Chains A and B, each alone.
Chain A
Amino acid sequence: EIVLTQSPGTLSLSPGERATLSCRASQSVSSSYLAWYQQKPGQAPRLLIYGASSRATGIPDRFSGSGSGTDFTLTISRLEPEDFAVYYCQQYGSSQGTFGQGTKVEIK
């Protein structure tokens, strides 16, 4: 089973700043099957990025994904007030899917 480790656990930033979130896999993940989600309190997760770097429908271009192999990154170029939330990475393997433990982006 592939384990995804996200860092940092919490990111304290101000609106307008750049956020860089990391997701490291215990073994190589196909870039086609690495995704990022945003979750706000009381809501279901929302797909942001799939295929490591493709934005889902309706996602603003301040969100971008990159990486390959075992190291992936989600970047939010300029934080808007609505971007403060928890972010999860996820891999879709041939037999199982796993999620990272999440990174909380909070207002500094």
Chain B
Amino acid sequence: QVTLRESGPALVKPTQTLTLTCTFSGFSLSTSGMCVSWIRQPPGKALEWLARIDWDDDKYYSTSLKTRLTISKDTSKNQVVLTMTNMDPVDTATYYCARIPRIVGAYDYWGQGTLVTVSS
């Protein structure tokens, strides 16, 4: 079955770089039409789309955050990595990775999310 799991630090200091890893199983990111995104949700607030990487290694970023984000994949390890530079307390959120097959055009499987707190 399809599963995704986010991992990374629970606490980062302001100005530090956050690195999150999404480890998945049950599908391959080398399959044509398969994509994985990162989405975050500050406590009590709405979902915010961050970035997407496609099976052909095309990458897309949130307009407001693109200067701080990098998304990459390691197909052999079934992992997608997101880095976010210059972390600020407003970046405190639960970070989710989710699968989006282009044929579906929606996030059909999600990880459980990982809470990242930015504080000195």
Contacts and interface: CB of A to CB of B under 8 A. Distances in A.
Interface of A: 1, 30, 32-33, 35, 37, 39, 44-47, 50-51, 56, 88, 90, 92, 95-102
A50 B110 contact: no
Interface of B: 37, 39, 46-49, 52, 60-63, 96, 98, 100, 104-108, 110-113
B95 to A, nearest CB: 11
Nearest to B52: A97
Nearest to A37: B107
Given A96-B49, A99-B46, A44 B62 contact: no
B contact face: mostly helix, strand, loop, or mixed:
loop
B96 A44 contact: yes
A92 B48 contact: no
28 contacts: A1-B63, A33-B105, A35-B107, A37-B47, A44-B98, A44-B112, A45-B47, A45-B107, A45-B110, A47-B106, A47-B108, A50-B105, A50-B108, A51-B105, A51-B106, A56-B108, A90-B47, A90-B106, A92-B100, A92-B105, A96-B49, A96-B52, A96-B63, A99-B47, A99-B48, A100-B46, A101-B46, A102-B47
